[in-house]
Structure formats: structure tokens, C-alpha cells
A and B are shown apart, each in its own frame.
Chain A
Amino acid sequence: GIQVEQSPPDLILQEGANSTLRCNFSDSVNNLQWFHQNPWGQLINLFYIPSGTKQNGRLSATTVATERYSLLYISSSQTTDSGVYFCAVALNTGTASKLTFGTGTRLQVTL
């Protein structure tokens, strides 16, 4: 099956710092999503981004599908950004497409 690796596995930032999270995947995909899992376990949708670049406030993401990687940028980090960030991919599109989750990046933002 498809392999999804994320780096770094752990990251500690001071509030206000910027960071880049990376997601590498082993096969061509048609579906890629980024999620934030908050400390209570809820997965929050950040981006659906099988290709291209998107921005939403302090967050932005870029996927280079031909090179099989995606990047999530967090600017001016806040303590509420703490949690685990997952990318997830699927070979197919559609609501029945099975997602394979990456290994995750655990982010802690300190004051």
C-alpha cells in the first residue's frame, strides 16, 4: 500500500514563530488532505489540496503532486495551534475514497 511519511515528527515553537511541515507519499494520489488533531482528539479539516497552493489565514499548503510531497506552512504560531498535524492521501477521489494517514507531526507552541 501507499506509504505516507511526515517530518519532523515533533516540533516545539515559541509563539509567533513560523514553521513548515512536510508530507511525502510513495505513489501518485488524487486526494490529499491536511488535518489538525486537537488535544481532545478532534480532527479538524485544514485543506483539501491534491495539487497547487491554498491559503487560509495564517495557514497555507502546497502540494507538488509530480514530486509526491506536500507542505503545510504555519505562520505566527499561537498556542492554540498545538496538537498533531496529519496529512492523509487517497488514490481515488470521491466520498468513498479510503484515506491513508501519515505518521503525523506533533507541534507544541509555547509562550
Chain B
Amino acid sequence: GAVVSQHPSRVICKSGTSVKIECRSLDFQATTMFWYRQFPKKSLMLMATSNEGSKATYEQGVEKDKFLINHASLTLSTLTVTSAHPEDSSFYICSGGGHTDTQYFGPGTRLTVL
């Protein structure tokens, strides 16, 4: 199967700082990638669709100025949490698809904002 990596796997930051999370497709090209957020013992919630070379599409209720998404190439999408606050602490997961209908997921990034 296709492999997706995320970096960092874990980050702790102070309130008010910005954090960038990278999502890379290692063995396939992804025109579209997705960003999810997962709270403890809850399901995954789609935050936004990242489109290579164009603006991201955000789900209802997700602040686009808070969660900046850039999809600069067919193998890299980044999520920047700007001016992070404790309520932004969560598990962030990205995914992408190759040439099939199957989505492949990164290992996730655990963000803790103090």
C-alpha cells in the first residue's frame, strides 16, 4: 500500500505560537490530500481538503485563518496552526489517495498547547 508520513509526530508549544505539520506521500503523487482532527476517544473529523496548486476547501466550522493549509507539490501538504491555544490541542491526521479509491493515512501528529 501507499505510504504517508507526517512530521513531527509530537509537538508541545506555548500558547500564542504557530506550529507547522508536514504531510508527505512517499511513494505516490497526491493531487488531493485531507486533514483530520481527532479528540481523545472520538472519531476523525474532516477539517479540510488540500488541493495541489490551489486553495484548500474547509469544512463548515473550521477557521481557515486559524488552520492554514498549503499544498505546494504533489507529495507535500502542510497544516499550520496559527496562534495556537490550549483548545487546539488534538491529534491531527492527514491522508491521501494514489490512483485508487483507497485513502492512506499518515501516523498522526499529537499537538499539545500549554
A-side interface residues toward B, CB under 8 Å? Answer: 31, 33, 35, 40-43, 45, 48, 86, 88, 93-104, 106
Contact with A45, one of B96, B99, B102 (Cβ below 8 angstroms): B102
The number of A-B residue pairs with CB atoms under 8 Å apart is 64
Given known contacts A42-B105, A42-B107, A45-B1, A95 and B91 CB-to-CB distance under 8 angstroms: no
A100 lies within 8 A of B101 (CB):
no
Q: A41-B93, A42-B108, A99-B46 are in contact. List 17 more A-B contacts (CB 8 A).
A: A31-B101, A33-B102, A41-B91, A42-B105, A45-B1, A45-B103, A45-B104, A48-B101, A48-B102, A86-B44, A94-B101, A95-B32, A95-B99, A95-B103, A96-B32, A98-B49, A106-B41
B-side interface residues toward A, CB under 8 Å? Answer: 1, 30-32, 34, 36, 38, 41, 43-46, 49, 91, 93, 95-105, 107-108, 110
B31 lies within 8 A of A96 (CB):
yes
Q: Is the interface of A mostly helix, strand, loop or mixed?
A: loop
**CB-CB nearest in chain A for B57:** A98
Contacts of A97 in B (CB 8 A): 101
CB distance from B71 to the nearest CB of A (A): 12
In the bound complex, how far is the Cα of B49 from the Cα of A104, in angstroms? Answer: 22
**CB-CB nearest in chain B for A90:** B101
Give 27 A-B contacts (CB < 8 Å), ordered by A residue. A31-B101, A41-B38, A41-B91, A42-B107, A42-B108, A43-B93, A43-B105, A45-B1, A45-B104, A45-B105, A48-B101, A94-B97, A94-B101, A95-B98, A95-B99, A95-B100, A95-B103, A96-B31, A96-B49, A98-B46, A99-B46, A99-B95, A99-B103, A100-B46, A101-B36, A101-B44, A101-B45
Contacts of A43 in B (CB 8 A): 44, 93, 95, 105
CB distance from B43 to the nearest CB of A (A): 5
In the bound complex, how far is the Cα of B96 from the Cα of A31, in angstroms? Answer: 15
Contacts of B30 in A (CB 8 A): 95
